[in-house]
Every structure is written in structure tokens, then in C-alpha cells.
Structure 1
Amino acid sequence: MKLLNFTTTYFAVILVFLLALWALIFYFEILDEIYDSMDDGLDNQKMLVIRKARQDPSVLEKSAFEDGNYIISPTTPQIGRDFTDAYRDTLMYMENEDEYEPVRLIESVFQQDGSFYKIKVITSMVEEDDLRKELFFSLLWLYLGLILTIVLLNSYFQKKAWQPFYKLLRRLENFSIEKDRTIKYEETKIDEFRLLNERVDSLLKKSVESYNSQKEFIENASHELQTPLAISINKLELMAENAELSQEQMEELGTVLQSLERLTRLNRSLLLLSRIENRQFAEEEKINWNSLTKQIITEFQDYAAHREVKIVLAEENSIEHQGSKDLAGMLISNLLKNAIFHTPSGTVVKVIISSRSIKFENPGKAALEKNKIFSRFKGAEKADSTGLGLAISKAIAEKMDLDLTYTFHDQTHIFTIDF
């Protein structure tokens, strides 16, 4: 969940409960005021009736609500002395409505001429009942409107406030250390975002400087190593041609030359692996993998013939994919060379191109360790191998967003490039 959505949701939940609480308090406060107003009116009517009864004793004989809103009935002194005024809601049959309607009633006791009388005064609650309904729905719509308005406005203003942050994220996502040196930062009045921009800018500058330093060091180290290695190999070759050496000395000299040549290949492979990992192959184009594979197979025909291995190409479909053609060529070359190199003489290496993959199959006796097959210097114990071929292939595949996998089935090693 995005931080903006999280804070908006968190705020909305708090707002829902808080406004609901205040709406309930307000609703019951208004109801209390309505009942208090009705009770004051009933109390006033009760006092008027009692006053009227003292002026006109015939009022004391009114025992039904048929022609008024009060009734009076005699009661005992025991009840009269202990009685306190009581208010309550009840229902009364209304002839004009032909149904029972809610009424508010006050029940009280008064004394006149030494006798005690119980008086009940009523007032209609029809209007008050409608008022309560109107109040309830008005509060409900006000509550929902406030919630919706506050959440939308909060979301809008928060989104506007967080805009510099999301723009920075998008620019960082598209930032390439090989191509870009700086990114454009959004002007903001928010201190935290301004501080974030400063820290990101500082971090990117350090990263670019480190990248350039590493790149320069690798190139210089490779060059400095390559030159003395080439000179040493040339001098040893001249010595082998011109010097009168014994057979044993010539074999020792051949071993030294072989080690130096392997060191040269290793130096080139490490440089290539470093360039791949540092993404120094930025040029991309649409690659026809069928044509590229055919071209590389042609280049390896002599090597395969020397090792008495036959290369068979099976094209089931055509594959086109965006990427670096140089890296694609290295990937195909490494896998094909690996298959030829590890195939017994007199056998066949199959290259199968389907709609979504390219497979390299060669016979073998036992499966390789899947968790180590793409590790650096795996197989470096062989004289003709640097142990970096498959590691370079894996790095190229990851750089080109491909999936390079190994399986062993029916005494066959299978390396698959999945697109």
C-alpha cells in the first residue's frame, strides 16, 4: 500500500469514528433540548389547569381526554404526599387519524380544599417525532457528506504535497548510471523533501564517481596486465625458435607459454565480466537470433571439426528480441563453445530454436551441480578453460532480461535460453 493511501485510510478511519461520536452526542443533545422544551410546556399547561381548577371547581370533575388535553382524578393523601412529577412517552388513539399517535405526558399531584388530586396533561408528539426523523436524516447526510468531502480534499492536498516525492521516485527508476550524471529535482517548500533531494543528489554523485573510478581502474589494470603478458609471450616464443634447448626444456617452456596464454584469456574474461556487470554495453537493437546463431555456428565449424563433433541446428520458429547484439553473440558463442568442448569425439551437439527459447544439447554421463554451474572459476582446473564462460553467459542473460537454465535429461546436458 502506498504511503499516501495508508495515511488517507488511517485518517479516514479516525474521522469516521470521531465524527460518528460527535454526531451521536449532537443528536442526543438536540433530543434532550426537544424533550426539555416539551416538558416545560407541559409543566406550564399543568399550572394553568390547576389555577383554572381553583377558580372553577367543575374542572376537577374532568376525567377523560375527550374534550381537552388533561384529566383530573382524586387520590389518597398517602399517594399525594409522596408523589413526584413524572414525564413519559405513551400512545393515544386519535379519532381524526384513526390510529394511535405518540404523546408526551406529565403526571402530577396537587392539593385543593384539603383534598388531593392527580392530574395528567398531554401534548402531541407528532411534530416532534417528525422533527426527530428529520434531525436524524439531516445528521446522517451531513455526516456522510463531511466524511466524503474531508477524505477527498485530504487525498487531493496530500497527493499534491507528495508530488515531488513521487516524481523523484520515477526519475530514480529511469536513472541510468552509464548514461546519466544528474537528475532534475522538483522544487518544493517541504523541508523533508528538500532534504531528501539533497541526500539523493549527494548519493548519486558519489555513485557516479565510484562507477567512473572503478571503470577506469578496470580498464587501466587490464591494459597494464595485457602489455607485459604479450611481451613475455613474444619473448618466450622467440626464445623457443632461436635457442638451442633440450626436449625437456622445450616442454617446460611450452608449459610456461600455455600458462601465460591462459592468464591472458583470464584477464580478458574478467574485464568482459566486469563490463557486463557495470552495464557498459548500452547500445540496443532488434536482434534476429536465428541469423546470429547460424553465423556463430559457421564460425565454430572448424573448431567442432577439430574436436570431431558435429553441430546440428533445428529451427522450429524464428526469434527476434531487443538487446545488445555484441552481448547476444557472446552468449551464443560461450554456450556453443562449452557444448563442443565438453562433448566426446564422434558425437553431436544440437542447437534447437523454438518460439520462446534456444537450447544447446550435448551428451554427458552425469549431471552437473546446478547450484555451482554458473559460479566463477567452475571448471578452471582444465588447462583450456578459464572457468568464466558460464559465469559470463549468466551475467549476459541477466543483463538482457533472459533466463539461462541448466537441466540433465536422458544422458544429455541441456542449457536453455528462455525469452
Structure 2
Amino acid sequence: MKLLNRSLIYLSAVFFIIIGVWSVIFYFNLKDEIRDSIDDGIDNNRLLILIKVHSDSTLLTQNEFGGNNFKIHPVSKEKALAYRDVFKDTMMYRLNENDLEPVRLLNSAFEHNDQYYRITVISSLVEEDDLIEDSFWSVVSLFIILVVSIIIVNNFVLRKIWNPFYDILNQLKTYRLDKNEKSIEINSNIKEFIQLQEAANTLINRSKEAFLSQKEFTENASHELQTPIAIIIGKLELLLESKDLKDEDANTIANVINIADRLKRLNNSLLLLAKIENKQFLEEETISLNETAKNLLSNYDELLAFKQIEYELDETKDLKVKMNPALADILLSNLIKNAIFHNKKDGNIRLTFTSEEFIVCNTGNPFSLNPDTIFNRFEKDQTKKDSTGLGLSISIAICNSYNLKINYGFAENQHCFKINFNNILAQV
């Protein structure tokens, strides 16, 4: 979820709570104000009626409301003196409404010409359910107006304010350490964004220094280590061709040559891992994994024939991906070579290509390998002394560099490795 949308949700939730509490307080305050206003009006009407009684004594006979808003009943002096002005709410049937209607009334007493009377004055109330409904829709309208206002401000004002942040983010996404690109620059005078730009450039400079240092190291190591190893192997091979060499010494030299050759392959694998993890393979192009696998299989024709291994291609789709050609070749080569190297005589290999996945299955040891450690460096079958134990480590390093998922499974005496290329499928 985007930051702007999350802030919109939080603001809406806060406004909802604040407006909800405010509306309850507002309702009761409004209700009290209406009661006070009506009470003042009723009391004023009572005083006007008492003044009018002095000039029109017929009002004293108004003992029913009828069309008026008051009624008067004679009472004893004791009751009249015991009366206190009392305001209260009640329901009364009104002819004009043809229904019960809430009213506010005042019961009071007065004296006229030595006679005591009880007077009841009424005034219609705003119906409480109507008040609640009107208040509710007013609050809902206010909430909607506020949320719409926030959305407008969020999309047209805040988005513009946050443009420098998104500009920095987009530049970081496309920045490549192997290219001599300029530092990140934004057009903003906001202090926090300027600090973010400076921090991003500082981090980029440090990463670029580390990248160049590792690149230089791997290049130097590749040259400086490979050369002496090659010289050692060459010298030993020349020594092996000596006529005066004893058989025992020849066997020793041959073993040393094998060890040196293994050291050479181990060095190549470690340097390759360093380059992959250092992201030095950045050039990409559209590749058909089907064709890549077929070319690799043709390189192992003699080994397949020697171990009497049969292979099968199941090409549901032409699996085309966008990645570095060298890494694609290494990835498939490691998995295919692993399927051949760890297979049994008269075994089989099956390569499956779907619209998104590449699966290689092979016969071999009749037991499952540990899926938690199989991709670890130097994890290998101890009976295979010529193995460096880095083939699958290189494979998963390549997959990680492209955010690909590689899985191992064992079923029906078949060891299977499956890679999902959904992240880097080429657009056909």
C-alpha cells in the first residue's frame, strides 16, 4: 500500500472517531438548547396569559386545550401554594397531526381576585427521532465532505509535495553501479528530501567503491591464481612424460595433477560466485531455454553414451526469458551436469519446459537429499571426490540474483529440480 493511501486511511479513521464523538456531544447540547429556548417561550406565554386574564376573565374558563396552547383549572389555596413551576416532556394527541406528538409543558399556579388556579401551558417539540435523523445525516454529510476534501488534497497537493521522494526512489531503482552514472539529483528545497538525497548519494558512493573493489579483486584473483595453477599443471604434465620416471612417482604426479585441476575448477567456481553475488553480469537479452538446454545436452553426448543414460525432452512451450546469456548457460549447465554426474548407469533424465517453469528430473540414489542443505556451499556427495560442491550453490546464487524460486523434490525414485521463471519471462 502506498504511503499516501495509508495516510488517507489513518486520517479518515481519526476523522470518523472525532466526528462521532463530536456528533454525540453536539446532539445533547442542541437538545438542551432547544429545551431551554422552548422553556423560555412557555414561561413567557404564561406571563402574557396572566396579564391578559386581568382584562379578559373568560380565559379562566379555558379548562381544555382545544385550539389554544393553555388550560386553566381552579384549585384550592393549599394546592396552589404547594405548586412549583415544573417543566417536563410528554406526549399529546394533536388533531392537526392526527397522531401523538411530543410536547413540552409547564405546570404552574396563580392567584386572581382571591381565587387560585392551576395553569398548564404547552409548546410543540421537535420530534426526537427527527432530530436524531437530521443530525445523523448532517454528520454523515460532513464526514463525506471531509473525506472527499482529504482525497483531493491527498492527490493534488500532497502528491506534488512527495514528488521529490518518488523521484529519488525511481532513480535508485534504475541506478547501475557498473555504469558511470551521475549522482542522484532532485529539484526540491525541502530539508528532509535534501537530506534523503545526500544519504542516498553517500550510500551509492560507498556501494560503488565496494563494487569496484570486489570487481578488481575477482579480476586480479582470476588472473593471478589461474596462471600459477596452469603453470603447475603444465610442469607436472611435462614431468609425467619423463622416461626415467618410476611408476610409483608417475602415479603420485598424476594425483597431484588431479588435485591441481580440482583446485583450478574450485577457484573458477568461487570467482564465479563472487561475480554473480557482486552483480557483474548485468547485460540481458531474450533467450530460449529450450535451445540452450539442447545445445548443452549435445556437449554431453559422449558422457551420456558412456553411462548409458537416456534423456527425454518434454517441450510444452518454448520457454523464453530475459536474462544474461552466460548466467542462463551456467544455470542450465550446472543442473544438467548434476543430473548426469549423480545419475546411475542405465538411468534416465527428463527435461520439462512449460510456459513458466523448467524442470530437470533424474534417477540416482534411491533416497531423498536434504532440501535444507542441498544448496549450501561445499555440500556434496562424499563419494564424488572430483566434485567441488559448488554447482548447486552457483545455481541458487543465479536464481537469487533474478528473484527466481528453485525447489528440490524427490518422488518415485526421481530427483527433481524446478525453477519458476515467472519474474523474467520475455514478452512474446
Once the two structures are TM-superposed, the CA of residue 220 in structure 1 deviates from its matched residue by 0.7
CA deviation vs aligned residue, 1:261-295 (integer Å, no higher than 9, x gap): 22111111111222222222222222223332222
Q: Say whether residues 1:336 and 2:346 are aligned partners.
A: no
CA deviation vs aligned residue, 1:332-386 (integer Å, no higher than 9, x gap): 33233333333445x2442433434342423434443333332222338544322
Q: In 2 relative to 1, CA 285–162 (structure 1 residues): closer, same or farther, beyond 3 Å?
A: same
Please show how residues 205-224 of structure 1 align to structure 2 within 5 Å: 205-224=205-224
Q: In 2 relative to 1, CA 170–81 (structure 1 residues): closer, same or farther, beyond 3 Å?
A: same
CA distance in 1, matches of 2:275, 2:332: 18
CA distance in 2, matches of 1:230, 1:96: 114
Partner of residue 287, structure 1:
287
- How many residues align? The count is 416
Amino acid at match of 1:172: L
TM-score (structure 2 length as normaliser): 0.82
TM-score (structure 1 length as normaliser): 0.84
Once the two structures are TM-superposed, the CA of residue 27 in structure 1 deviates from its matched residue by 4.2
CA distance in 1, matches of 2:367, 2:131: 87
Q: Which moved more, 1:108-117 or 1:404-413?
A: 404-413
Partner of residue 396, structure 1:
398
CA deviation vs aligned residue, 1:168-190 (integer Å, no higher than 9, x gap): 33443444444574564443344
Please show how residues 84-233 of structure 1 align to structure 2 within 5 Å: 84-92=84-92, 94-95=94-95, 101-125=101-125, 136=135, 139-140=138-139, 142-156=141-155, 157-179=157-179, 181=181, 184-233=184-233
Partner of residue 373, structure 1:
374
What RMSD over aligned residues (CA atoms) do the two structures have, in Å? 3.4
Partner of residue 22, structure 1:
22
Aligned-partner SS, 1:370: coil
CA contact (8 A) 1:104 1:125 kept: yes
Partner of residue 46, structure 2:
46
Amino acid at match of 1:53: V
Aligned-partner SS, 2:74: strand
CA deviation vs aligned residue, 1:196-218 (integer Å, no higher than 9, x gap): 22222211221121111111111
Amino acid at match of 1:353: T
Q: Say whether residues 1:362 and 2:363 are aligned partners.
A: yes
Q: 1:385 aligns with which of 372, 384, 387?
A: 387
Q: In 2 relative to 1, CA 56–385 (structure 1 residues): closer, same or farther, beyond 3 Å?
A: closer
Partner of residue 276, structure 1:
276
Query: Which consecutive residues of structure 2, in runs of 5 or more, have no partner in the other structure?
Result: 422-428
CA distance in 2, matches of 1:402, 1:131: 63
CA distance in 2, matches of 1:352, 1:109: 106
CA deviation vs aligned residue, 1:117-154 (integer Å, no higher than 9, x gap): 2122334558x999958964773465334433443245
CA contact (8 A) 2:364 2:414 kept: yes
